[in-house]
Every structure is written in C-alpha cells, then in structure tokens.
Structure 1
Amino acid sequence: MKPLRLLVLGCLLLFAPGGWCEELVVLVDRAADMPMSRIENGRLTDGVHKMLGEALARGTGRELRFLLLPRKRIARALQQGEADILCGYTPEWIEGDYLWTETVFTAEEVVVTDAGQPQPHAIADLRGQAIGTILGYQHPEIEKILGAGFVRDDSPNMETNLEKLARGRVHHILIARGVLEYRQRLRAIPLKLHPPLSAASFNTRCAVSRKGHLSLEEANRAIAAAARDGTLARILAQFR
C-alpha cells in the first residue's frame, strides 16, 4: 500500500467513528506542465508539485487535497484561505501577504535562443527582441536589465513556448534550466539551441496562507524532514 494511502487509512482508524482527519489543501497552477505538473481529466497525476504535496501531507500528518486553479485566481484563493499552501514561488512572483517557508528547491532561469539566430552573449543583447514568457509570471531580473526593451511574447504554458520556438514564431524563450533539460531529453528531435544564458538564480519556497489551517512551523518541519530523508533530492532526480 502506498505511503499516502497508509496515512489516510491511519487518520480514519485514529479518529473513527466520529472524528475526522484534518485536510491539507495544496494550491497548484493549472497552467504548469511537466516536469512540474501533469493534469489529466482535472486531476493532478504526476510531477514535482504532486510529489512535493504528498511529502508535505506525510510530514504534517494530514489528508491531501490539491486545488487546481488558473494562474490569475491563485493569489486571491491563497489570501482568502481557500488553500493552505502554494509551493515553487518566491515573494516577488506573487502579490499578497503570506507566510514564507524556508527554501525548498534552488533553481536557475535561463534564456535560450534558436541556433539559427545570432548568438546573444549577454541578456542585454536581447533588448527590443521578443522573448517567450508565460502569462502572469514576473521576471524582475530581466526587467532590471532590459527595462522598456523587455518585449514579452506571452503563452499560457511552457509547452506552447517551446512549440513557438521550434516553429520560429519566437527566437528566444525564458525557461528554468531543469525544465529545459527535461523537455529536451523527451523530444524525439531535441531543439537546436545556443548555450543558455543565465538570467537569474533563485530559491523557491512555499507561501502559507494566513487564513489557512497550516502553520508556518508545521510547513517548515515537513520541508526539513523531506530534506533530511532525501525526498526532495529524489523528486528532483526523477525529472532530470
């Protein structure tokens, strides 16, 4: 029996017949795609968000429920306490007042360019050129370098961005290095790209709702436990 099912069964046995097992509601952006999320028939079935949510549920001793929402509804839902926690973000990426956990993963954002185009040697070389981005996501480091010359070409998700790059509709995209490596490995014919330009390095954390049912201390304990027992490392290794 899987560990999460054992957790749920344990809750039921512990509190039966009249009690209940407290729920952990993990918020996930519906626009996220693999390796972060795979959503099938309205359910989260695979990816980093799923595995991390399961680790948090084990670490807090709660029954897990994922709440999948469009990007534009995430901040309001978390502020209103419709969910307890949202992971994979930094405070600069989402508006609102939340409690922030310790670092969960360290990641790097890069710009990649079609090898058929002149190779940029610095982010500043892209001033005035369209860069594939995801609708609703902020890139303060790029904005600081390019200013008004940061020309966004928004897509609903990274899969669309990569397809636009493959078809020549854009020549540059912003993407996490880990996502790029994962996607290139899965493609039948990998995209021909110039070496990535590092745009930003950041420590992703989890935003804990001030109106939810999870304390910051509980979240940090669960994250620390997942780091100690190797769960976080295994999650990343699975999608490299």
Structure 2
Amino acid sequence: MRRLLAILLLWSSSGLAEQPVLRFSVAESWSMPLMRTEGDVPVDGILFDLIQALAREAGVRPQYHVMARLRLEQAMTAGDIDVRCYVASNWLNERPGEFIWSVPLIHQRDLLVGRAGDGLPGGLAQLPAQPIGTVLGYTYPTLDPMFAQRLLTREDSRNQDLALQKLQASRYRYAVSNQLSLQWFNRQQPREQRLRPLALLEEQDLGCMVRNDPAIPAQQVLRALVRLKQSGEIDRIIERYTQVQGTLSADQ
C-alpha cells in the first residue's frame, strides 16, 4: 500500500513538474473583489479564481508577479510577464507587439460615486472645483480633461477600496469606482450608508493579453479563455463575488 501511494505521489509530482509555468502580472492597486493578496501571494477574488480556472483548463502553473500598476507596461515590454489580465486597449500607452489579445472577458462600468443622499446637480460639467477620489496610476478619459485644466483635482489612493473608504469618511464628496468594487464595498455597509452611483463615466470590455512566444503555450491559453467564457464559468465567478445579501440593485 505504501509503495502504491509513493508511486501515485511521484506520478502526481512529475505531472505538475511537466506543466509549463506562466508568469501572471498582479497590480498592487487591485483590491477585493478583484483580488486579495497576503504577503504578495494572491489568495482570493475574481481575478484569482479566473487565473486558477485558466490554469486548470490550459494545463499550466501560474506564477504571480505583484507590481505597481505603472510598471505593468514596462514589464510586458521587457518580457518579464507572460499574461496580463483585466486590461483594455485604451489603458496602454503603446501596445506591445509581442502580445495577443484574448476574447473580451469582463464588462466594466466606471462610475462617479457619492454618499447616500448626495446628488449631482447640473451634471459633470457643472461640478465646482474640488478633489475627486481616484486610484494611483489609473486613467479616467471622461475626467482627465477636467483634471488637466485643474477644474477638478485628483485625490489618489493606492487602491479602489481605500478611495471608497475616504469617500465614506467625507474626505471628498465624489470618487470614481468600477461597479464591481462598488458592489463589494456596499455589501459590507448598512443600507443607509451605502454609496451610490451618480453618473456613468465609461464602460468597456476587458480581457487578457498573452505573450506570443513559442516558449509558452499561448494559443492553448487563448483557447482555454474562450472555453471559460463560452461555458459561463467566468460569469459564475463574478456572480460569487457580486451577489449581495438582501435586496440591492445592480447599480449599487
């Protein structure tokens, strides 16, 4: 019996060793529900579950590289990472030619958010000069011209959750948040303290970029992402983190 167990363990270890290792980038600015890290090791979240599902489907072993968001493009250009997920083409200053886009995986909505009871009289164009809660390294196409003209000023936090915490603590009146993060934040708040979306700023489809290198199974990974999307697995992953106890509208 012991001999059989030893053989099975050896076979299992050999199988894992033969799986190609893929280096996935992780942005330090990610917070739940996108990803939670402990000591630079991802342990939970939508993107963690997505990458784990991708690794199983494609037969690869993920290796996580945590870095500042502003370093991601440099790491791609230098060949330091193999896969970058949760990215849109307009987020890139230059598209590295050696990377291939996946199918769209996640639809993101960026919102201007306020506290319960606050509104947006007159719309964005009528906002008086004031700080807006933002995330370090993120671009906001709708608001960036107003930031450039100093009609509004950025109040950067290192991740989205901190930006929303500051909004709730009245450090500023408005903040920008993606809808997933807003839903996650609100599920932990009493109904009367939930933050509310006031305006849709942008919406776009996000995907992954895979390094086009014969040393890694790029097409295998891209096909695996297609299967995960078509099977509904990615949508099920998102639902696990966005369902809210009680009644809460999709916009909240």
For Structure 1 versus Structure 2, the TM-score category normalised by the shorter chain is: 0.7 to 0.9
Identity of aligned residues (%): 24
Structure 2 counterparts to residues 32-51 of structure 1, below 5 A? 32-51=30-49
| C-alpha separation in 1, matches of 2:180 and 2:222 | 24
Task: Determine helix, strand or coil for the equivalent of 2:93.
Answer: coil
Match of 1:124 in 2: 125
Does the CA-based 8 Å contact 2:107-2:205 persist in structure 1? yes
Q: Match for 2:160 among 139, 158, 161?
A: 158
Does the CA-based 8 Å contact 1:81-1:210 persist in structure 2? no
| C-alpha separation in 2, matches of 1:101 and 1:10 | 33
Structure 2 counterparts to residues 24-63 of structure 1, below 5 A? 24-63=22-61
Residue 138 of structure 1 aligns to which amino acid in structure 2? T
User: Which sits farther off after the overlay, 183-192 or 173-182?
Assistant: 183-192
Match of 1:106 in 2: 107
Match of 1:64 in 2: 62
Residue 227 of structure 1 aligns to which amino acid in structure 2? K
Task: Determine helix, strand or coil for the equivalent of 1:141.
Answer: coil
Task: Determine helix, strand or coil for the equivalent of 2:235.
Answer: helix
Does the CA-based 8 Å contact 1:51-1:235 persist in structure 2? yes
Does the CA-based 8 Å contact 2:131-2:152 persist in structure 1? yes
Match of 1:87 in 2: 85
1:45-81 CA distance string (max 9 Å, x none): 0001111111221222111221111223222122222
Match of 2:141 in 1: 140
| CA RMSD after TM alignment | 2.7
Residue 194 to residue 33, structure 1, CA distance change in 2 (3 Å): closer
Q: Match for 2:183 among 181, 185, 194?
A: 181
Residue 172 of structure 1 aligns to which amino acid in structure 2? Y
Residue 130 to residue 145, structure 1, CA distance change in 2 (3 Å): closer
User: Which sits farther off after the overlay, 107-116 or 28-37?
Assistant: 107-116
| C-alpha separation in 2, matches of 1:195 and 1:30 | 25
Residue 196 of structure 1 aligns to which amino acid in structure 2? L
Residue 178 of structure 2 aligns to which amino acid in structure 1? A
| C-alpha separation in 1, matches of 2:200 and 2:61 | 39
Does the CA-based 8 Å contact 1:108-1:199 persist in structure 2? yes
> Tell me, which stretches of 5 or more residues in structure 2 are unaligned?
1-9, 243-252
Does the CA-based 8 Å contact 1:79-1:211 persist in structure 2? no
Task: Determine helix, strand or coil for the equivalent of 2:237.
Answer: helix
Residue 143 of structure 1 aligns to which amino acid in structure 2? D
| C-alpha separation in 1, matches of 2:67 and 2:129 | 33
The TM-score with structure 2 as length reference comes to 0.80
Does the CA-based 8 Å contact 1:83-1:212 persist in structure 2? no
Aligned residues: 230
| C-alpha separation in 2, matches of 1:144 and 1:10 | 59
